[in-house]
């Protein structure tokens, strides 16, 4: 979905790509645009989309969406809704949408990701806006005092496997919360999970069906009690970088690996990986074990190869 804001006075255009057109996206587009432009317009004109109009009383009388009203009060703008079948009232923005699509995605329309497509779109918009006099217009905009926070709330019960299920996907929760009720705040790209009014974890939102988002730190207590379960655990498999470090430096030393994870559980992943590698390299025992395993593996392969050739020689 392409969200577009366009100023009739200067023809300045802003656009952002989204995966859908729900209420969260609608709100986020406003937040991103106001932050980008550095101000808020007195009036914002809309078509009769469902994120704007909740219902029609008459052809000209409408009930605005509650979320739009909250947003307009927060930023201090007036929502203006065009009349049905009056193309002259919304021609500028509709032409802007067509122009942006034409200039940005006519010759280049395949991308590896949404982020790549957005980066391409921003380059095109920058060129389109070079001749606009937006700086003069910005002087008359209301200042952005704060950023509007929009999310939806749900109460969910944690399963016996320490997961919550949200929109047909699964997210891990610290295992001490098994069977407890947690509050889930769903934002555009991530969820925040709270218990007793305290955030206990965050996850990037999964957009597929039946997908899992796991944090190995949520299962450390169980894994420390049963370290033998670590090598084949879904928690370790879910973080390929971490699993490679485990395989390179800590195989056979699961308790040490888990102890390090517990000590440095608040580290960002890249910093954690670097620390685990440093600790692994500093341990001489690891190098000996790794070397011996490599030699043993090579010896077994050589013996198998020799036996195969011996059988072939006997058959000739």
Average pLDDT of every residue of the chain: 86
Q: Which of 232, 244, 233, 252 is nearest to 273 (CA)?
A: 244
Residue 301: pLDDT band with limits 50, 70, 90: very low
More confident residue, 219 or 284: 219
Per-residue pLDDT, 292 = 52
Distance (Å, whole) CA 35 – CA 171:
31
Residue 124 has pLDDT above 80, yes or no: yes
Report percent pLDDT > 90 for the chain: 60
Phi then psi for residue 211, to 5 deg, are -90, 160
Mean pLDDT of 183-200: 96
Mean pLDDT of 306-314: 45
Q: Give pTM, 2 decimals.
A: 0.71
Residue 64 has pLDDT above 50, yes or no: yes
Per-residue pLDDT, 314 = 46
Name all domains of the chain by residue range, CATH numbers in brackets: 2-138 (3.30.420.10), 152-213 (no CATH), 218-282 (no CATH)
More confident residue, 84 or 183: 183
Mean pLDDT of 271-280: 91
Distance (Å, whole) CA 107 – CA 110:
9
CA within 13 Å, CB half, 265: 14
Mean pLDDT of 61-86: 88
């Amino acid at each position: 979905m392409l969200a577009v804001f366009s100023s009739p006075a200067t023809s300045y255009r802003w656009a952002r790509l989204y995966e859908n057109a729900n209420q969260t996206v609608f709100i986020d587009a406003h937040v991103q645009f106001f932050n980008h432009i550095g101000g808020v317009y007195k009036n914002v004109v809309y078509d009769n989309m469902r994120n704007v109009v909740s219902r029609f009383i008459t052809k000209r009388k409408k009930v605005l969406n509650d979320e739009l009203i909250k947003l307009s009060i927060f930023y201090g703008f007036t929502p203006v809704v065009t009349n049905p079948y009056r193309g002259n009232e919304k021609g500028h923005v509709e032409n802007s949408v067509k122009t942006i699509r034409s200039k940005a995605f006519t010759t280049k329309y395949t991308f590896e990701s949404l982020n790549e497509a957005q980066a391409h779109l921003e380059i095109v918009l920058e060129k389109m806006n070079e001749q606009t006099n937006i700086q003069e217009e910005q002087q008359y905009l209301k200042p952005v005092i704060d950023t509007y926070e929009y999310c939806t709330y749900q109460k969910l019960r944690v399963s016996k496997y320490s997961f919550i299920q949200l929109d047909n996907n699964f997210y891990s929760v610290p295992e001490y919360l098994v069977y407890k009720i947690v509050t889930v705040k769903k934002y555009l790209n991530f969820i925040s999970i709270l218990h007793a009014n305290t955030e206990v974890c965050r996850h990037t939102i999964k957009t597929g069906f039946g997908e899992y988002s796991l944090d190995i730190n949520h299962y450390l207590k169980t894994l420390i009690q049963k370290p033998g379960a670590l090598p084949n655990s879904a928690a370790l498999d879910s973080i390929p970088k971490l699993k490679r470090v485990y395989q390179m430096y800590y195989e056979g030393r699961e308790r040490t690996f888990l102890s390090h994870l517990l000590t440095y559980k608040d580290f960002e992943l890249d910093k954690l990986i670097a620390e685990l590698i440093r600790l692994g390299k500093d341990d001489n025992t690891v190098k000996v074990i790794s070397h011996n395993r490599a030699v043993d593996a090579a010896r077994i392969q050589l013996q198998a190869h020799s036996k195969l050739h011996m059988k072939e020689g006997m058959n000739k």
